[in-house]
Structure 1
Amino acid sequence: MSDGSVSTMEMLPNELILNICRHFTARELYRAFYGLNRRFSSIADNISDLHLTITNNESHEPVWLAFSRVIKLKIENAKQIDLYRFSNIRSLTWIRPSAVQLQKLCSFTYFAYLEQLRVYDIYDMPSAAHFHQFVFSNGFPRVRILSLSHINISSPWVISLCLRAINAQNVSDPHLYKRILISCPNLTRLDFHMLRCIEIPMPVSFQHVNLKRLHCTGTLSSRSLENILAIVPGLMQFNINGSIREQPLVYFERLGNTLNVFLPHLNRFDCNFLFTGQYADLIKTRSFLEKFHPCFKHRMKFTKLSYGRIRIHTKSII
């Protein structure tokens, strides 16, 4: 029963307030609590592991006081930013950096503790080529997770032993797949998203033995799939999303043969394809299709869509 008293946040112990404040971004924290009184200002000044998003339209007052305690930073369309203030960044996402900003980013001085890096929408080609060369030549020796779009391979890469997971978006160069695998021998996961239908060439005398998970998005021929999978014999999980331009029965027969020949350790296969054709004819092929590989058995599902399209996908594994 209420005794008529009013409860306020100031009545809570510091430990509970700290737990609540850890769910705020740095900007939310300082705008909500800083300057209210000495106690709340002190709490704001003593919270570490902060997250922050910086855009060109937002003021940094008084959140700049927390810059050295930010570990996860997202920058979007920011024309001016002093990177020296962010000395403890572990995760950085940067959208549309300028050529000058990319040049500054290629400096280990700024981000000595960086472990996750995501950079999207680089439009200056010379700067992009230099930046991607830096990244894939062990420029960030602590970075293990990398996500990039429009990767430029015009400059030579050396090697990056630290990278474990890469998300490559808006891929248009058919040689990028091989370049990534050669430059990142310890890579265990690759997400490969293609802009358009591209034919992946067959690499000569090369295998990447550490890749365990591969996710491809785009329109890939059965020949390209064979070229992709032939060099990753240790693959355990394979997921593909896209469109089929070949007859599904022929496509899955070739895919099943590729999986049987090149991926002895595969234990999880998932797909989500779009195909334009006759639904009734496709249904008749299900029993044949599921025999091509153990991962297909009892998992293939056909869904009729509009305009003659059919979705061919795998059922979820419970």
Structure 2
Amino acid sequence: MMNNRSFQFEFLPNEILIILFEYFDIRDLYRLFFNINTRFNNLLLSLKHLSLTISNSNQTLNEYDKILISYINKLIIQNKINIDFTCFSHIHSLILLHPTFQQIKQLNKDILPCLKYLAIRNMHLLSSNDLPAIFDKIFSNDCSYLQYCYLSNMTTISRRREWIQMTSLRFLEVGHINLFVYKYILSLCPNLYSFKFIISTETEIPSDIKSHLNIKRLTLKNDFFGHSWNDHVIKSYLSYVPNLEQLCMYRHIFSSSVKNCLMNYDWCASLIGSYLPSLRRFSFYLHLIDLNYVDIDNILFQLVENFRSHRNTRCQSCFVIQRSQMQKLLSPKFLM
């Protein structure tokens, strides 16, 4: 029989404790576990991936918190509050859930010299006049040290001035971009490894995009209610990333359009065969928006069989269908 001591939290091995501790806010972590014993103290002081969440401007740092600041790796700001980032100069990760322009302005090497990971969500809540300035800020000398950048997917990337080359950037996830912005980002981010974005409807396709040889993962999504899915456009996106190893596609479609649009679709098999010789994994996520008057079950079975018949034997393939009711999509809870 297992000894009862093994069920006590303090007898867990360090490896498990380290994993568990990373889910705690740093203030809760130290208040709960510091000074239990010497082992816990040493373990807490050795952690390198602790986070601090600030949800309102009244959460001022007391003297005890200020001692912990040097151990914070990730800072999460939950609301629209004015905060001075100068006391968090050592953080590597910053997440802004409801960004303000005052927060964005502080993104620079002097204030946050160690920042590698940046995520800005809900950018659509900002003034539309501020958005180009924010994108210009991200793609400037102020943020040239970033390795990972997530910008809210409910915005369209635009700029007012020239952007600089981002040689450190490896992972980029953004909202809507067209082929011209795609071309521009490829040229500025030579070491980009993973790129996720929403494709926009094209009226003109540039012909002078230089191939990007370092991108290994690409995720393409179409506009939720738009008609931006066009294989001629998809071809342009894929033809400039010949060393791609993982391709993921998300497509939204109404059930009334499935039969006409997808019954004879080859699921990009010809494009993959022509432009992606190194592809190892292909995933296609179909988000089906159900309209009550359309009987779709039999058609979905045919779609699955059609996908299997066009599957490229050179790479692993995955086909996922998600169904949603139109009424639920339009509910206030869903749209928040």
Counterpart AA for 1:242: R
Match of 2:32 in 1: 32
Out of 228, 233, 238, the residue aligned to residue 229 of structure 1 is: 238
Counterpart AA for 1:55: S
Please report the TM-score for the alignment, with normalisation by the length of structure 2. Answer: 0.71
Match of 1:82 in 2: 84
Distance apart, 1:272 and its partner CA = 1.6
Distance apart, 1:176 and its partner CA = 3.5
Bigger Cα displacement from structure 2, 156-165 vs 73-82: 73-82
Match of 2:193 in 1: 188
Distance apart, 1:235 and its partner CA = 1.0
Instruction: For residues 33-92 of structure 1, give each alpha carbon's deviation from its aligned partner in whole angstroms, at most 9, with x where no partner exists.
Output: 67x899899769945533111121534333232123211111122523221111211111
Alignment of 1:210-221 (within 5 A): 210-219=214-223, 220-221=229-230
Match of 1:209 in 2: 213
Distance apart, 1:231 and its partner CA = 1.5
Q: Secondary structure at the match of 1:177?
A: helix
Distance apart, 1:20 and its partner CA = 9.2
Q: Does 1:252 align with 2:266?
A: yes
Q: Hey, what's the Cα distance between the residues in 2 that align with 1:110 and 1:304?
A: 43
Match of 2:171 in 1: 165
Counterpart AA for 1:116: Y
RMSD between superposed Cα atoms in Å = 4.2
Q: Secondary structure at the match of 2:279?
A: coil
Match of 1:121 in 2: 122
Q: Structure 1's 109 and 292: CA in aligned 2 closer, same or farther, altered over 3 A?
A: same
Distance apart, 1:152 and its partner CA = 3.5
Q: Does 1:266 align with 2:275?
A: no
User: Does the aligned pair in 2 maintain the 1:91–1:116 contact within 8 Å?
Assistant: yes
Distance apart, 1:175 and its partner CA = 4.1
Q: Which has the higher helix share?
A: 2
User: Does the aligned pair in 2 maintain the 1:217–1:241 contact within 8 Å?
Assistant: yes
Counterpart AA for 1:205: D
Distance apart, 1:258 and its partner CA = 1.3
Q: Structure 1's 259 and 92: CA in aligned 2 closer, same or farther, altered over 3 A?
A: same
Match of 1:3 in 2: none
Q: Secondary structure at the match of 1:247?
A: helix
Match of 2:3 in 1: none
Q: Hey, what's the Cα distance between the residues in 1 that align with 2:183 and 2:312?
A: 28
Counterpart AA for 1:294: N
Match of 2:150 in 1: 147
How many residue pairs match? The answer is 295
Match of 1:313 in 2: none
Q: Hey, what's the Cα distance between the residues in 2 that align with 1:264 and 1:130?
A: 39
Q: Secondary structure at the match of 2:142?
A: coil
Instruction: For residues 99-150 of structure 1, give each alpha carbon's deviation from its aligned partner in whole angstroms, at most 9, with x where no partner exists.
Output: 2221122x21111111111112331344432332232234333321111122
Out of 218, 234, 239, the residue aligned to residue 248 of structure 2 is: 239
Q: Does 1:64 align with 2:70?
A: no
Instruction: For residues 1-39 of structure 1, give each alpha carbon's deviation from its aligned partner in whole angstroms, at most 9, with x where no partner exists.
Output: xxxxxxx99x99xx99x96994442121344367x8998
User: Does the aligned pair in 1 maintain the 2:149–2:171 contact within 8 Å?
Assistant: yes
Q: Does 1:133 align with 2:151?
A: no
Q: Secondary structure at the match of 1:252?
A: coil
User: Does the aligned pair in 1 maintain the 2:173–2:197 contact within 8 Å?
Assistant: yes
